């Protein structure tokens, strides 16, 4: 049996040694989930009771989960605590959304053909859910995939990221403690081959994926006929600055929004467009704040930035930044690795339009500032990529800001706020290559339900 070694993100100390599941175990998991689905889900009130107890159990282990997130995923402990709070709230959001699961009467006698009939719809669980999760929010992403399945009555098999499986494993234990019968939530520790076997099985009814576009679109192409799915990939988030009075507030926010969790967030600010007359000044201000960020072990209370998830990611970031500099970008601050797992907070001025830092998601504490002479030029640049998730515009001129928001190709545009803004009840989705379907607790629950219409002829 293959072993999965989980290590502390900064020190490389071993946190756990886990046995991975093989192909036969994948088949058994699918058989268990399929049998539960055929036998019918728990009554709604029991699902509500289980989720209520689960929220309390997570609350009781709030600090434990925060430290687990910091240790296995490298997210600074102060940000990890925020993630746990969001996760608890996510469970409560699902409880509230359960109360909105209902059908509707469908009028039949609008034409003579329907006369003498009554019709109504009800909502049923879609069936077996398979989820593949990402490393960067190891608890809250699991909440967004597992909890909607529990709430709607779907059995779920989830594969957590191999580098950060411990939060999902602990969450699954708490779910059992909360009263959900064994088998309704199964955690699969899989290599790529067995993960594909799981996802492409015809017994799967819904596939939830959070991760790279390359893997997500590939797996979608392999799904069995009729399988619904939701894919959440990344972006190269643009922010257009027009004229905004609170420059210091703006600058502090840019640093947080681009370097939170060392930039390893799918909607991190990466491209900042600023009028040419102010680009140098504001880039220097961003750099001054970036220089104050403390980089270190995420478990330390004073760390603002932790490590990147793996040494190979530092190698990649170093290569991309060096390429940008060779093509004419100026390093305002940073631009170098600190050690094998951390990279300096970095601000680049005017990278080439075709540089990797301008066209691909860097997933690192690197922000690029571009000077523009006409705001339409900035809008065109912001829209130029095949990825599109959340975008932002800063302006004290609301009319202009609304015009820019209308023209930006994004699933959400923040005015005088950052691309990283999210609350867990809002729709969250990528356009173009950035995703498929809509995330958010309530929206995911809708995806996991199917309409059934009953027509009665009297």
Cβ neighbours around 293 below 10 Å, total: 17
CA 78 to CA 303: how far, in whole Å? 8
- Using the Cα atoms of residue 402, residue 407, residue 412 and residue 413 in order, give the sign of their dihedral: negative
- Cβ 202 vs Cβ 127: under 8 Å: no
Is residue 266 annotated as a catalytic residue, yes or no?
A: yes
Closest CA to 178 of 157, 151, 160: 151
CB-count burial class (<10 Å; 0-12, 13-18, 19+) for 387: buried
Exactly one of 266, 344, 361, 368 is catalytic; which is it?
266
CA 228 to CA 230: how far, in whole Å? 7
Is residue 368 annotated as a catalytic residue, yes or no?
A: no
CA of 414: how far to CAs of 2, 187, 231, 297, 325, in Å?
45, 36, 22, 32, 30
Closest CA to 241 of 270, 267, 272, 271: 272
Residue holding tokens 């879609």? 126
CA 253 to CA 268: how far, in whole Å? 11
CA 134 to CA 129: how far, in whole Å? 17
CA 235 to CA 363: how far, in whole Å? 9
- Using the Cα atoms of residue 406, residue 409, residue 411 and residue 416 in order, give the sign of their dihedral: negative
**Residue 211: strand, helix, or coil:** coil
Exactly one of 72, 83, 232, 313 is catalytic; which is it?
232
The helix or strand, by DSSP H or E, that contains position 285, with its residue range, turns out to be helix 276-290
The helix or strand, by DSSP H or E, that contains position 388, with its residue range, turns out to be strand 387-388
DSSP calls for 237-250 = EEEEE---S-HHHH
Query: Taking the C-alpha atoms of 139, 361, 235 and 163 in order, what is their torsion angle to the nearest 10 degrees?
Result: -20
- Our measurement of the distance from residue 122's CA atom to the centroid of its chain's CA atoms, rounded to an integer in Å, reads 30
- Nearest 5°: CA angle at 354, between 387 and 250? 65
- Cβ 441 vs Cβ 452: under 8 Å: no
- Nearest 5°: CA angle at 272, between 269 and 277? 160
Catalytic (active-site) positions: 232, 266
């Amino acid at each position: 049996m293959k072993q999965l070694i989980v290590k502390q993100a900064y020190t490389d100390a071993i946190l756990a040694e886990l046995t991975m599941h093989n192909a036969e175990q994948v088949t058994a998991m699918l058989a268990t989930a399929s049998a539960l689905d055929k036998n019918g889900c728990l009554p709604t009130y029991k699902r509500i009771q289980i989720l209520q107890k689960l929220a309390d159990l997570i609350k009781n282990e709030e600090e434990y989960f925060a430290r687990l997130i910091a240790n296995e995923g490298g997210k600074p402990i102060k940000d990890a605590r925020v993630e746990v709070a969001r996760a608890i709230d996510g469970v409560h959001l699902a409880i509230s959304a359960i109360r909105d699961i209902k059908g509707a009467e469908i009028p039949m006698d609008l034409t003579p053909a329907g006369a003498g009939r009554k019709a109504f719809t009800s909502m049923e669980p879609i069936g077996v859910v398979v989820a593949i999760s990402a490393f960067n929010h190891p608890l809250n992403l699991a909440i967004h995939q597992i909890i909607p399945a529990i709430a709607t009555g779907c059995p779920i098999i989830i594969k957590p990221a191999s580098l950060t499986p411990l939060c999902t494993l602990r969450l699954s234990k708490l779910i059992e403690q909360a009263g959900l019968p064994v088998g309704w939530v199964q955690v699969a520790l899989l290599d790529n081959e067995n993960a594909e076997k799981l996802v492409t099985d015809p017994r799967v009814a819904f596939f939830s994926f959070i991760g790279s576009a390359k893997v997500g679109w590939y797996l979608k192409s392999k799904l069995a006929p009729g399988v619904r799915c939701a894919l959440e990939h990344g972006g190269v988030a643009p922010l257009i600055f027009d004229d905004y009075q609170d420059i210091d507030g703006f600058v502090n926010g840019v640093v947080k929004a681009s370097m939170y969790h060392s930039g390893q967030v799918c909607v991190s600010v990466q491209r900042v467009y600023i009028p040419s007359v102010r680009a140098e000044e504001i880039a220097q201000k961003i750099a001054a704040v970036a220089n104050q960020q403390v980089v270190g072990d995420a478990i330390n209370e004073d760390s603002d930035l932790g490590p990147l998830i793996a040494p190979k990611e530092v190698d990649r970031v170093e290569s991309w930044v060096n390429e940008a500099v060779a093509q004419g970008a100026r390093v305002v601050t940073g631009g170098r690795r600190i050690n094998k797992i951390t990279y300096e907070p970095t601000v680049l001025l005017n990278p080439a339009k075709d540089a990797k830092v301008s066209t691909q998601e860097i997933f690192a504490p690197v922000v690029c500032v571009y000077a523009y002479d006409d705001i339409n030029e900035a809008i065109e640049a912001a829209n130029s990529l095949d990825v599109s998730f959340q975008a932002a515009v800063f302006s004290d001129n609301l009319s202009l800001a609304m015009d820019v928001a209308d023209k930006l190709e994004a699933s959400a545009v923040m005015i005088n706020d950052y691309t990283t803004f999210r609350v867990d009840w809002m729709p969250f989705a990528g356009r173009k290559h950035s995703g498929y379907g809509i995330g958010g607790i309530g929206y995911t629950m809708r995806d996991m339900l199917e309409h059934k219409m009953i027509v009665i002829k009297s």
